[in-house]
Amino acid sequence: MFVNDPELVSEFITESSEALADIENQLLEIEAGGADIDSDLVNTVFRGIHSIKGLAGFLELKAINELAHNLEDVLNKVRNLQLVPTSQIVDVMLRAADELRALSVSPEESNAADVSQHVTALQAILAGDTQDSGGVVEQAASDSQKIEDAIISQVDQLSELAQEESDSGSKPKHLEPESLSSSPVPVAKPQAESDNVAGPKQAERSPKEAKEKASGVEANIRVPVSTLDHLMNLAGELVLNRNRLVQFCGSNGDNELTTLSSDIDQITCELQEAIMQTRMQPIATAFNRFPRIVRDLSSKLGKQCNLVVEGRDVEVDKSIIEAIGDPLTHLIRNSIDHGIEMPDVRVANRKVAAGTLRLAAYHMAGQVCIDIQDDGGGISPDKIKQKAVDNGIITDRQAAEMSTREALRLIFHAGFSTAEKLTDVSGRGVGMDVVRNNIEQIGGTVDVESEVGQGTTIRIVLPLTLAIIRSLIIGDQDARFAIPQVNVAELVRVSGKDREERIQCINDAVVLRLRDELIPLVDLDQIIQTAAPLSLTSNAGLAEGLACFQPPGSESESESESEAEAEAEAEAGAEAEDVLIDQAELAVSAKREAQGISIVILETGRSRYGIIVNELFDSQEIVVKPLGVHLKQCKSVAGATILGDGQVALILDAAGIAEEANLSGLDEDLVDDQIALDSESGDEVRLLIFRNAPNEQFAIPMELVSRIERIATSAIERHGSRSVVQYCGRTLSLFAVEEILSAQPRETSRFVSVVIVSLGGKELGIIAPCIGDICDIHVEVDTESLTEAGVIGSAVIQSTVTRILDVAVICKQGSPESGPGGVRGNAMANGPGSLQEVAANAGANLKQRRPRVLVVEDSKFFRKQIVRTLKGANYETREAADGLEALQILEGDAGSFDLMLTDIEMPNMNGFELCQRVRQMEQFKSLPIVALTSLSSEEDLQRGRDCGVDEYQVKLDADALFEAIRRLIPE
């Protein structure tokens, strides 16, 4: 049976035509050599035929396979000096090669072809039957006569054709390519003619075959990549010139010229896209070899493994496809060898005997992700740490302080092999560090996630193309730089007044306090200063660099920025004075000071650090240009690009800068100590604080916040009573605090900050005119004093009474179309204490016995909230701070719970594991489990379901929670 995969088939055609391209000359050369065998040459031919045989065998192309096989055998004999290639033998081989070529052009029909004649001839040679080959020669002679005839008739036809062409008045130039493109016909035709001897059936097919061959040549042209690169370059230039043209026309206003330029504009865009497209190939080209590898390898190891491939159609640059083949193969071998367990082990662990290996490619934020996910035994962080300590990669102390994630990343460390014993499958001295290096070389990153007993996911993030990458453009004085987006983790702006608090020095190292992490900082000025010995600017050190920042340049972007700057200035101006700088500079510095500092947090596989930049521009697609040979030594730059205005911007190499700044030592020791000092956090809740009016402070639980955006007030549209804003191509509902609560209206300003919260996969924005801090606090929430819908309660934070917003209620108010829940949400908004009311109603619906609910939640804040609402609704509750505690309670108090509510992210034992353990206990097989989460990806949800979660609920959405509880607790 013929495998009907067009992708594979076209690859087969390409590969076989490559192998056969020069076979005539090669065979003829072999013939000329006679007994003096050029073994290199014979080997080349042999390998070509061998690979055709292999491919044909794989695709079940029997005729091609058989023919190639026999041809290979003959070549093998020649190679081993068992056969002297006489001209008769070469003759037979030539004809066999011709047939092979004809067949491999249209493999779909090749199985119907009769190759017996060639096979017999080849086998006769193998048998050393020279007598018979005489017959073959005769045959060959008569064939060649026929070929001659055929060519003559073809030429006649062609000249007739040519006559017609010139008669019909077309340009004579046109004739040449026409007749050239037909030239394959005479080659194929004689083949068909000689087949004619074999059988009439063959003759019927042959003209078609010949035609297809001709068309096959026309449909695909192999073009050197350098030509495409050149085209790409030219297109890039065209874009620049188009930009200038459009600008010029815009200022001159000539109508016709403007039309013309916009046409050129459009054509240029399309041209660039088309050229980009020429370099793109579906990733299936790289994936196609894996089913076979997985099959062979798993059977070799006695394992069972199913390969699931997703996203074959994702297109990436050809050079990337070439580059990822080997790393992917290695990762897949690794997954099967070390990841997937033996079938009996799997069964013993309550898994299906056959493991699943998922290979998925998908687009994410302008990049391509490839996941290699297995459901095997997972990687034990402790084992990794132990091994790393044994191998001297880390110290005991480091191991003790290392997080799980960091520990897992150790597998990418050089000289690290996780296999308990070296196997011939993946323990071949090619470690994961080579994989990482290969991937980083093409501008990608690789990361690992794993859970013991659950499996491992390796995620590779790759740029779409090597030639064009998405980059963040940053500015420094007069120069601009591009940072590949793949390295950018986040952007942080430290306002003037927070500077001293958030940017600190440990010895000589400058660090930024970001949430509970300390991140080493590098000043871009300093990186560049060392580079420009001739520069006239002073060689400002980091301390000075921090103190005086250049005002934004004169670019158009800075207009809106300086507007925003002015606001911040007014607010922070007072604080700026206590900075130690020269009196003379004070006035200027105070102004600069107030603007705050922009920091780009960069992440490479090995390090995480921040770069202080003066200006941030937008993120754009840039065309990567190589740097000259004289600049190969510069580790901190990876290349250059040309921006829209013709200026050159250098592309910063995140790993190189880290290396130059010698950052790797810094973040390990010093920073870890500092973190250890800082993180005595236990039972805290993290809140985002903001003010609406000067004396009214609000807070949102950070767990629900996904992003904070700054938007222009003019971009806010009002539809009826609702405010929306266009955001990332979607419509985002916006709420002002005063619209929901009794609060003073915010002051009007041109820009507002919007806190984007995500709740159960939905996003909404809360306008927060003045964002304060994010703080971890022990809060005693007072739910009595300030009660209204949309507020969980109040607390004193930073000596100000702060109302903590109930995002779930706000969310419902904003979307009345979202069903009954929304209606109730509106009803709730009408009266104070309605949350409890609804809860009580829900409770009243239940029968007399008070149902018992086990609440597992690590945050005391949330736990108290949930318990309070449950109690209010007549439920009996018990609390547990993590999975382990919950298990203990369950074991000691078996059978008495009607439902378990659990968080997912918890210390000691997380929700997934808890559910699994609970489900393994006989008496809790049917205990309803509701998971509370802010994770909302389908993957997470599915994972929970697999672990035994009955239902998912969003934290703090009381109504939906009660609905679920009522549904799940049997009456």
Partner 1 sequence: MKTRNENEIQVISFRVGSLLIGLELTDVQEINRHCDFARVPNSPKGVRGVINLRGEVVTMIDLAMLLNQQTDSCVNTKLHNVFVKYESELIGLITNGVSDSMTIHRDSIDALPSNLDIDEANFFTGVHRLPDGKLMVLLDLNQLLTNVLEIGSVA
Binding interface with partner 1 (CB under 8 A): 233-234, 236-237, 240, 479-480, 527-528, 530-536, 625-637, 640-642, 646-650, 660
- Provide the minimum distance between the beta carbon of 47 and partner 1 in the complex, in angstroms, as a whole number: 33
Q: Residue 220 or 535: which CB sits closer to partner 1?
A: 535
Q: Residue 260 or 648: which CB sits closer to partner 1?
A: 648
Q: Residue 22 or 237: which CB sits closer to partner 1?
A: 237
- Provide the minimum distance between the beta carbon of 535 and partner 1 in the complex, in angstroms, as a whole number: 7
CA dist., res. 508 & res. 967, Å (int): 60
Q: Residue 527 or 842: which CB sits closer to partner 1?
A: 527
How crowded is residue 31: how many other Cβ atoms within 10 Å of its Cβ? 17
Q: Residue 229 or 905: which CB sits closer to partner 1?
A: 229
Can you count the helices (H) and strands (E) in the chain? 37, 34
Name the helix (H) or strand (E) containing 25.
Answer: helix 23-33
Say which residue the tokens 């200022």 belong to.
Answer: 251
Single-letter code of the amino acid located at 730: R
Residue 182 CB burial class (10 angstroms; 0-12, 13-18, ≥19):
middle
Single-letter code of the amino acid located at 513: R
Q: Residue 575 or 660: which CB sits closer to partner 1?
A: 660
Q: Residue 535 or 798: which CB sits closer to partner 1?
A: 535
> What beta strand segments (E) does 144-237 contain?
none
CA dist., res. 414 & res. 436, Å (int): 10
- Provide the minimum distance between the beta carbon of 525 and partner 1 in the complex, in angstroms, as a whole number: 11
- Provide the minimum distance between the beta carbon of 477 and partner 1 in the complex, in angstroms, as a whole number: 9
Q: Residue 78 or 612: which CB sits closer to partner 1?
A: 612
Q: Residue 528 or 590: which CB sits closer to partner 1?
A: 528
- Provide the minimum distance between the beta carbon of 237 and partner 1 in the complex, in angstroms, as a whole number: 4
8 A C-beta contact, residue 503 and residue 521:
yes
CA dist., res. 571 & res. 580, Å (int): 20
- Provide the minimum distance between the beta carbon of 79 and partner 1 in the complex, in angstroms, as a whole number: 40
Residue 429 neighbours by CB under 8 Å, 6+ apart? none
- Describe the strand order of the beta sheet including 876-880 as a list of residue ranges: 876-880, 852-856, 899-903, 929-933, 951-954
8 A C-beta contact, residue 797 and residue 687:
yes
Q: Residue 201 or 635: which CB sits closer to partner 1?
A: 635
8 A C-beta contact, residue 241 and residue 234:
no
Residue 732 neighbours by CB under 8 Å, 6+ apart? 724, 725, 726, 754, 756, 763, 764, 765
CA dist., res. 795 & res. 786, Å (int): 10
Q: Residue 535 or 920: which CB sits closer to partner 1?
A: 535
CA dist., res. 657 & res. 895, Å (int): 60
DSSP assignment letter at 337: I
CA dist., res. 616 & res. 639, Å (int): 20
CA dist., res. 852 & res. 873, Å (int): 12
Taken in order 435, 436, 437, 443, the sign of the CA dihedral is positive
Distances (CA, A) of 4 to 10, 59, 651, 719: 11, 8, 45, 54
Q: Residue 580 or 629: which CB sits closer to partner 1?
A: 629
- Provide the minimum distance between the beta carbon of 539 and partner 1 in the complex, in angstroms, as a whole number: 13
How crowded is residue 863: how many other Cβ atoms within 10 Å of its Cβ? 20
- Provide the minimum distance between the beta carbon of 409 and partner 1 in the complex, in angstroms, as a whole number: 28
Residue 723's DSSP bridge partners are 718, 734
Q: What is the signed CA dihedral for 12, 16, 18, 20, rounded to 10 degrees?
A: -170
- Provide the minimum distance between the beta carbon of 821 and partner 1 in the complex, in angstroms, as a whole number: 56
Q: Residue 237 or 420: which CB sits closer to partner 1?
A: 237
- Provide the minimum distance between the beta carbon of 618 and partner 1 in the complex, in angstroms, as a whole number: 19
Lookup: tokens for 137? 């020669």
- Provide the minimum distance between the beta carbon of 536 and partner 1 in the complex, in angstroms, as a whole number: 6
Tell me the Cα Rg of the chain: 36
How crowded is residue 574: how many other Cβ atoms within 10 Å of its Cβ? 12
Listing DSSP states for 458-497 in one string gives EEEEEES-SSEEEEEEEEETTEEEEEEGGGEEEEEEE-GG
Q: Residue 241 or 664: which CB sits closer to partner 1?
A: 241
CA dist., res. 85 & res. 78, Å (int): 7
Listing DSSP states for 212-240 in one string gives HHHHHHHH-----HHHHHHHHHHHHHHHH
- Provide the minimum distance between the beta carbon of 294 and partner 1 in the complex, in angstroms, as a whole number: 44
Q: Cα-flanking dihedrals φ and ψ of residue 734, to 5°?
A: -115, 145
- Provide the minimum distance between the beta carbon of 665 and partner 1 in the complex, in angstroms, as a whole number: 19
- Provide the minimum distance between the beta carbon of 225 and partner 1 in the complex, in angstroms, as a whole number: 18
Lookup: tokens for 601? 């947090």
Q: Residue 1 or 534: which CB sits closer to partner 1?
A: 534
CA dist., res. 189 & res. 213, Å (int): 10
- Provide the minimum distance between the beta carbon of 52 and partner 1 in the complex, in angstroms, as a whole number: 38
Q: Residue 653 or 696: which CB sits closer to partner 1?
A: 653
- Provide the minimum distance between the beta carbon of 663 and partner 1 in the complex, in angstroms, as a whole number: 15
- Provide the minimum distance between the beta carbon of 577 and partner 1 in the complex, in angstroms, as a whole number: 34
- Provide the minimum distance between the beta carbon of 662 and partner 1 in the complex, in angstroms, as a whole number: 13
Given phi > 0 = left and psi -120 to 50 = alpha, else beta, which region is 581? Answer: beta
Q: Residue 221 or 629: which CB sits closer to partner 1?
A: 629
Q: Residue 66 or 476: which CB sits closer to partner 1?
A: 476
